[in-house]
């Protein structure tokens, strides 16, 4: 029996298999509100047969966006459109839905990747002054962000709470806090971005303080599972590393975190990442062996046998796919066919299974005229 297609639990969320669709920014929202593109994009992914779909990084405030086109959850209009999107998906797909909440920090006010991804100056159309733990720009030549003061920290923390409450009201079944890829919570963790001299900077315990406060506040405000995406290493000497990630994970476990989604990098252009198939799975395994939490592994996982081996060998409890799902939104169907497993699919598609994949779709039982 395929290990990849075994059921598993993420907090109180019961999932039919161990395939997770990772959050993938689309840079296609309008004032934070999803539109027709998201209906088509997420509709494809909702029919994939994966166990869990995590919606893209969703900003908790306008200044928390990466780009002016980021998805957001800071207004009634954002919430209403998201709730309608969830309702639409629920009408045809049983897939579990979660949302990644994020604040871009010093990486905010940027152009979409296909427009170069460069910073938009605060005085330029569409631009704003980014905010961060410290007034340190992400890259040379960029404008320095505003360092968050006590009032700013309280505002950001409340923004996470308010967005989490909106997400739960809109029908999302889980919340992932984005503390990876060089965005705000990761910026607090990494000494490469955090030069504070107060209780939120300096020692590892101090640098973890604000992300842990945000986690505690969000978890207290909602009843759905809450988990965290982390960058296990900055891939830069003197930066955030695996040992600190383990300590952070243990603190999260003590606070009732549902899982860790283990990625890496993003906080510095100086990073040197050894890219290759499954390159982040050793990090996931190390975290899983040291922290008493389920671990979602990610990183150039593209083939069914590769994903199966990651679960069977103990690298991770589940695997998350991103680009592979964009390239092939039916990846879980094809993986199930290759591994002799079953997936859920809508009845209008049942007749699409090839002869060699008989029994692919769970619940299929009809004749053909």
Positions marked active-site: 183
**C-alpha separations of 51 from 47, 96, 249, 325, 363 in Å:** 11, 6, 24, 13, 16
Q: What are the residues whose beta carbons fall under 8 Å from the beta carbon of 192, sequence distance 6 or more? A: 234, 236, 238, 239, 240, 267, 268
- CA angle, residues 319, 293, 299, in degrees to nearest 5: 25
Q: Give me the helix-helix angle, 76-90 and 36-46, nearest 10°.
A: 40
Nearest of 104, 97, 106, 1 to residue 62 by alpha carbon: 104
Residue 134 to residue 28: CA distance in whole angstroms: 29
**In 3-state terms, what secondary structure has residue 364?**
coil
Compute the distance between CA of residue 353 and CA of residue 359 in angstroms, rounded to an integer: 8
Q: Are 207 and 200 in contact (CB under 8 A)?
A: yes
Contacts of residue 321, defined as CB under 8 A and 6 or more positions apart, other chains included, come to 19, 20, 21, 22, 50, 298, 301, 302, 307, 331
Q: Which residues contact 347 (CB under 8 A, 6 or more apart)?
A: 366
Yes or no: say if 227 and 10 are a contact pair by the CB < 8 Å rule: yes
Q: How far is CA 297 from CA 241, 250, 281, in A?
A: 17, 17, 6
Residue 219 backbone phi and psi in degrees, to 5: -60, -35
**C-alpha–C-alpha distance, residues 220 and 12, integer Å:** 15
Query: What is the secondary structure of 278-305 as a DSSP string?
Result: TTTHHHHHHHHHHSSS-EEEESS--SHH
In angstroms, rounded to a whole number, what is the distance separating the alpha carbons of residues 292 and 223? 21
End-to-end CA distance of the chain: 33
């Amino acid at each position: 029996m395929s290990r990849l297609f075994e059921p598993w639990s993420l907090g109180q969320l019961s999932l039919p298999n161990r395939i997770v669709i990772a959050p993938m920014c689309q840079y296609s929202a309008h004032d934070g509100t999803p539109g027709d593109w998201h209906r088509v994009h997420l509709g494809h992914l909702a029919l994939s047969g994966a166990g869990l779909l995590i919606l893209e990084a969703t900003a908790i405030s306008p200044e928390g966006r990466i780009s002016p086109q980021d998805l957001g959850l800071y207004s009634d209009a954002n919430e209403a459109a998201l709730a309608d999107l969830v309702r639409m998906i629920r009408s045809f797909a049983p897939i579990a839905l979660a949302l990644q909440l994020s604040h871009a920090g010093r990486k905010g006010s940027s152009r979409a990747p296909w427009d170069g991804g460069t910073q938009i100056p605060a005085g330029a159309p569409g631009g704003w002054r980014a905010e961060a733990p410290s007034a340190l720009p992400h890259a040379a030549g960029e404008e320095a962000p505003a360092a968050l003061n006590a009032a700013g920290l309280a505002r950001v923390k409340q923004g996470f709470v308010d967005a989490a409450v909106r997400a739960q009201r809109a029908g999302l079944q889980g919340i992932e806090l984005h503390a990876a890829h060089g965005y705000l919570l990761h910026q607090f963790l990494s000494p490469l971005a955090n030069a504070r001299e107060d209780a939120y900077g300096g020692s590892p315990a101090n640098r973890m303080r604000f992300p842990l406060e945000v986690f505690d506040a969000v978890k207290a405000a909602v009843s759905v599972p809450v988990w965290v995406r982390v960058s296990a290493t900055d891939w830069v000497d003197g930066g955030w590393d695996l040992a600190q990630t383990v300590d952070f994970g243990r603190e999260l476990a003590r606070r009732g975190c549902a899982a860790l989604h283990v990625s890496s990098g993003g906080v510095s252009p100086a990073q040197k990442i050894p890219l290759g198939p499954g390159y982040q799975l050793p990090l996931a395994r190390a975290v899983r062996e040291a922290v008493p939490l389920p671990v979602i592994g990610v990183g150039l996982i593209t083939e069914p046998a590769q994903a199966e081996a990651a679960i069977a060998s103990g690298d991770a409890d589940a695997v998350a796919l991103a680009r592979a799902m964009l390239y092939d939104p039916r990846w879980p169907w094809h993986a199930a066919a290759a591994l002799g497993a079953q997936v859920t699919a809508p009845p209008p598609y049942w007749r699409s299974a090839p002869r060699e994949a008989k029994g692919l779709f769970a619940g299929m039982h009809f004749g053909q005229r």
